[in-house]
Amino acid sequence: MTPAKRKITVLPGDGIGPEVVESALEIIKATGVAVEFEKCEAGARAFQKGIVTGIPTDTIASIERTKVVLKGPLETPIGYGNRSANVTLRTLFETYGNIRPVRELPGVQTAFTGRALDIVIVRENIEDLYAGIEYMQTPGVAEGLKIISREGCEKIVKLAFAFAIAEGRKAVHCATKSNIMKLTEGLLQHTFEEFAPKYPSISSKHILIDNAAHQLAMRPEQFDVIVTTNMNGDILSDLTSGLTGGLGFAPSANIGNDVSIFEAVHGSAPDIAGKNKANPTALILSGAMMLRHIGEGKAANDVEQAVLVTLESGIRTSDMMGADTPAGTTDFTKAVIGNLGKRSKLSPPKQYTKVDLPPAQLGVNVVPAQSRRLVGVDVYVESDLEPKALAADLEPLTQSSPLKLQMITNRGAMVFPGNDRRVSLVDHFRCRFVLRDPASKFGDAEIISLLGVIGSKHSWMHVEKLQEFDGEPAFSKSQVS
């Protein structure tokens, strides 16, 4: 009996999606690998049919069955609501790790040609500012919450090291802005530093994200794998795509607990859709990553090598610099198929092993603390008063509370007490209250009563408890202006 073929969900997508996806499918089929494709709808057409998520239930059912998706770019059409089908997929299947490898490609001229760049960005993909938790706190002040969890950090750090080991790589950098965002970005740095010694074969180093950007522009060859938070990774990975030839060459994998989605980094490029002009390389290389993920390492190597040989032979699509007579998408595809089985002279295949993915920890993940203590509360107040006048209002109001006003900040800068320097203010004040008697205790009842008295005169819109976990402050200290 012939063994059952491995099923893959395919989303051709929008714009140039169907052309570049078809190219990748033809090449994968030509490798002879035993896979079967389930083509499903998602994106613009689904939105036009009134499916508000952009992902029909049949598509979701196929993904739940196959667990592996090869995906073309999906548009977020204007006028069909604000939801992005890409975000729906990422959220539904919790694809927490975004892996974006880039490398120097033969014949693709860049400012870094000849420097053998081979860099992978491993980006946390669901937390951070991209969790999309935003509020207009006053008509003129917006807030976005940067949510970073220990669980999310652990998963992305383990994924980065597992990927480095599977690819025989030597070094992992962790890039954060922990010098400023000590608790959120710092959580990734600390988790990285805690786990790095468990991978003694890989060298590890923390780097500040701004320096990482500078170093990537100056000496990118020093980097191998970079693990980072969501927004940093979004920006850095486009930067690294630019170093090696641009979006047409940048593949990616979105790794989830049980579903993984492989796609080009680029979008639907509607200006060249249907013109047989799109460069399919990024999607083809995403297909190779997918083949490796499902255990078809030989086919993955064959596809990657055939792309390299095609580029070495001088065949170029119109986006590649120096393409006098560009090949169309279909010609490029035929050339890659013709080169299957050949090996690149400049970049022979590497040895890969299976990525040892971190196990899914479903349920509620809790980091225990031996002790916790409530030491104060921050109340965000909307006011058009100057800081001194606001403090003069709040202090008598809160006189009967066990909590006293300690300070007021405006956009992070301390404006009360003791700062007479003029700063530009907005009507959004963080008023920090702490215990009058540090040895005493308070709880929710006292906070509610405090909010009641503040609310009798001022509009408050946000409250944060100030806690200590195991004796350590679990909140940021004020920045003295």
Q: Which residues are catalytic?
A: 130, 177, 210, 234, 238
Using rule CB under 6 A, residue 11 touches ligand NAP:
no
The 10 Å Cβ neighbour count of residue 70 is 25
Chain residue whose CB lies nearest ligand NAP = 267
Using rule CB under 6 A, residue 74 touches ligand NAP:
yes
Dihedral of the alpha carbons of 220, 222, 227, 229, in degrees to the nearest 10: -40
Q: How far is the CB of 144 from ligand NAP (least distance, A)?
A: 20
Report the Cα 176 to chain-centroid distance in Å.
Answer: 13
Query: Token pair for residue 121?
Result: 């960005």
Give whole-number Cα distances, 186 to 92, 174, 181, 182, in Å: 28, 11, 6, 4
> What are the residues whose beta carbons fall under 8 Å from the beta carbon of 63, sequence distance 6 or more?
9, 40, 69, 89, 93, 259
| Smaller CB separation from ligand NAP, 271 or 437 | 271
> What are the residues whose beta carbons fall under 8 Å from the beta carbon of 256, sequence distance 6 or more?
93, 94, 95, 96, 97
Specify the stretch interacting with ligand NAP by CB under 6 A; choose among 120-128, 194-202, 265-273, 426-434.
265-273
| Smaller CB separation from ligand NAP, 117 or 278 | 278
| Smaller CB separation from ligand NAP, 238 or 427 | 238
Q: How far is the CB of 429 from ligand NAP (least distance, A)?
A: 37
Using rule CB under 6 A, residue 75 touches ligand NAP:
yes
Q: Which one of 22, 127, 185, 263 is in contact with ligand NAP (CB under 6 A)?
A: 263
Q: How far is the CB of 94 from ligand NAP (least distance, A)?
A: 17
Phi then psi for residue 57, to 5 deg, are: -65, -30
Using rule CB under 6 A, residue 247 touches ligand NAP:
yes
Q: Tell me if 262 sits within 8 A of 70, measured CB to CB.
A: yes
Using rule CB under 6 A, residue 268 touches ligand NAP:
yes
| Helix, strand or coil, per DSSP, at residue 76 | coil
> What are the residues whose beta carbons fall under 8 Å from the beta carbon of 208, sequence distance 6 or more?
175, 176, 177, 178, 179
Burial (0-12, 13-18, 19+ Cβ within 10 Å), 253: buried
Using rule CB under 6 A, residue 12 touches ligand NAP:
no
Burial (0-12, 13-18, 19+ Cβ within 10 Å), 366: exposed
> In whole angstroms, how large is the CA radius of gyration of the chain?
26
> What are the residues whose beta carbons fall under 8 Å from the beta carbon of 165, sequence distance 6 or more?
199, 201, 202, 353, 356
Q: Which one of 23, 59, 62, 76 is in contact with ligand NAP (CB under 6 A)?
A: 76
Q: How far is the CB of 252 from ligand NAP (least distance, A)?
A: 8
Using rule CB under 6 A, residue 73 touches ligand NAP:
yes
Q: Which one of 234, 319, 378, 382 is in contact with ligand NAP (CB under 6 A)?
A: 319
| Smaller CB separation from ligand NAP, 12 or 387 | 12
Overall residue count recorded for the chain in this entry: 481
Specify the stretch interacting with ligand NAP by CB under 6 A; choose among 106-114, 129-137, 228-236, 278-286.
278-286
Using rule CB under 6 A, residue 266 touches ligand NAP:
yes
Q: How far is the CB of 271 from ligand NAP (least distance, A)?
A: 5
Letters for 370-409 (x = contact with ligand NAP by CB under 6 A, - = none) are: ----------------------------------------
Using rule CB under 6 A, residue 278 touches ligand NAP:
yes
Using rule CB under 6 A, residue 103 touches ligand NAP:
no
| Helix, strand or coil, per DSSP, at residue 392 | helix
Query: Token pair for residue 343?
Result: 């090996």
Element (H, E) at 329: helix 329-338
Which of 288, 165, 293, 136 lies closest to 225 in space, CA to CA? 165
| Smaller CB separation from ligand NAP, 109 or 459 | 109
Q: How far is the CB of 93 from ligand NAP (least distance, A)?
A: 14
| Number of residues engaging ligand NAP in binding (CB under 6 A) | 20
Applying the rule CB under 6 A, the residues between 289 and 318 that interact with ligand NAP are none
Strand pairing partners for 465?
377
Using rule CB under 6 A, residue 248 touches ligand NAP:
yes
| Smaller CB separation from ligand NAP, 263 or 304 | 263
Letters for 15-44 (x = contact with ligand NAP by CB under 6 A, - = none) are: -x---x------------------------
Q: How far is the CB of 277 from ligand NAP (least distance, A)?
A: 7
Q: How far is the CB of 228 from ligand NAP (least distance, A)?
A: 19
| Smaller CB separation from ligand NAP, 74 or 289 | 74
Helices (runs of H) and strands (runs of E) counted in the chain: 13, 18
Residues 243, 14: Cα–Cα separation, whole Å: 26
Residues 262, 289: Cα–Cα separation, whole Å: 7
Q: How far is the CB of 420 from ligand NAP (least distance, A)?
A: 48
Q: Which one of 12, 18, 220, 267 is in contact with ligand NAP (CB under 6 A)?
A: 267
Q: What are the residues binding ligand NAP (CB under 6 A)? A: 16, 20, 73-76, 86, 247-248, 263, 266-269, 271-272, 278-279, 282, 319
